[in-house]
């Protein structure tokens, strides 16, 4: 089914993304997988291809185009390729909007030029060892000391935790103010007292560095407060729908590519004198997956159009996030089964897809949290 949401300029960026993946990422997959880290140089290369900051101001080197369909194109192509890529979704869809929407002129002049070239890598530090989906349980705190904030606490499961240079840290700046007591502080690489813990040994997404971060009496200048003091929780809520839509897009696109490769395998692989795809059960299974992926893609495209129109709601993004990620998990699992024993071998991409997809129903808000958002909207 033809996708009507994209224009020719979006398809041009899609081709650029494919060229980047083929030239800059494909030769490094095994290296990055074994080292559990993508080279920082790959971010700089992505900047040269124009894949970072196309949605950031032109005067700092960005593209100046606020059109989430460009974000979607990059997410789709990177998801098809696999996880051994620089984390551009994090840079474009999650961190970038904080800087463009909340940073003042002086902050943008300091950070955006290097961010757009890929020389500065961003991260967002929300999750703590004792506070995951419950953001109100965050204990990391900052107290004012003259022109600085003194930051103390720890974060975990932080994407780009090793490579990051600019970390947007969620901290409690007023312990008596409840949801109005959180602020966002940008901690920069090299600040005294800012240390990185272990690079976490994950089940999947091996090339994507995820780490613990520790802050011990880190002196953060007040000029590094992002957005309004005491409005950190609301700033987070504003950005979460686009993050969740991005995850939904990656889930459907990645699962579609896994399905496509499995379809070809089912045509080529023979058993009992015929292709395994010709058996009725397998044929029906592949047909069901194709249909469900089409339906998921159509909802994604409707959400993309809603972003363009400026009316995507948090509830619609939650629906996309939970349903598409659960579908992706189901599809990839079925594809492993269709590969038989070969599906368990890491030399087959379907095996890596299987462990990579599992996190998608968890990060960015679990399936259960998404359903709760939807249920509350129903007045329940």
Active site members: 243
Handedness of CA 43, 49, 52, 57 (dihedral sign): positive
Could you tell me whether strands 166-172 and 122-125 are parallel, antiparallel, or unpaired per DSSP bridges?
A: parallel
Burial 105-119 (b: 16+ CB within 10 A, else e): eebbebbbbbbbbbe
Structure tokens at 265: 């395998």
The values of phi and psi at residue 299, to 5°, are: -70, -40
Count CB atoms within 10 A of the CB of residue 104. 12
């Amino acid at each position: 089914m033809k996708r009507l949401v994209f224009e020719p300029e979006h398809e041009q960026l899609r081709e650029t993304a494919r060229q980047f993946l083929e030239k800059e990422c494909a030769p490094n997959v095994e290296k990055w997988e074994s080292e559990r880290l993508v080279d920082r140089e790959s971010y700089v290369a992505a900047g040269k291809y124009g894949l970072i900051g196309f949605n950031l101001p032109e005067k700092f080197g960005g593209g100046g185009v606020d059109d989430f369909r460009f974000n979607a194109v990059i997410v789709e192509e990177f998801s098809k390729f696999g996880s051994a890529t620089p984390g551009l979704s994090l840079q474009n869809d999650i961190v970038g909007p904080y800087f463009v929407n909340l940073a003042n002129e002086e902050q943008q002049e300091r950070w955006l030029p290097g961010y757009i070239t890929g020389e500065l890598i961003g991260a967002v530090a929300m999750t703590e060892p004792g506070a995951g989906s419950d953001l109100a349980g965050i204990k990391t705190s900052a107290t004012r000391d003259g022109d600085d904030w003194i930051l103390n606490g720890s974060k975990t499961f932080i994407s780009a935790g090793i490579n990051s240079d600019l970390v947007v840290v969620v901290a409690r700046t007023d312990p008596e103010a409840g949801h109005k007591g959180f602020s966002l502080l940008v901690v920069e690489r090299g600040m005294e007292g800012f240390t990185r813990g272990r690079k976490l040994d994950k089940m999947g997404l091996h090339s994507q560095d995820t780490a613990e971060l520790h802050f011990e009496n880190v002196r953060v200048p007040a000029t590094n407060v992002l957005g309004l003091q005491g409005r950190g929780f609301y700033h987070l809520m504003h950005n979460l729908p686009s993050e969740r839509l991005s995850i939904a897009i990656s889930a459907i696109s990645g699962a579609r590519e896994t399905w496509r490769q499995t379809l070809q395998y089912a045509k080529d692989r023979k058993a009992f004198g015929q292709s395994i795809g010709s058996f009725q059960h397998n044929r029906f299974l592949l047909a069901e997956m194709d249909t469900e992926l089409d339906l998921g893609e159509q909802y994604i495209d409707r959400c993309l159009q809603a972003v363009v129109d400026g009316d995507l709601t948090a509830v619609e993004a939650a629906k996309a996030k939970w349903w598409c990620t659960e579908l992706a998990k189901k599809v990839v699992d079925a594809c492993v089964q269709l590969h038989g024993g070969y599906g368990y071998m890491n030399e087959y991409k379907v095996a890596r897809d299987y462990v990579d997809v599992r996190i998608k129903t968890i990060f960015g808000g679990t399936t259960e949290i998404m359903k709760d958002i939807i249920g509350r909207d129903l007045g329940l």
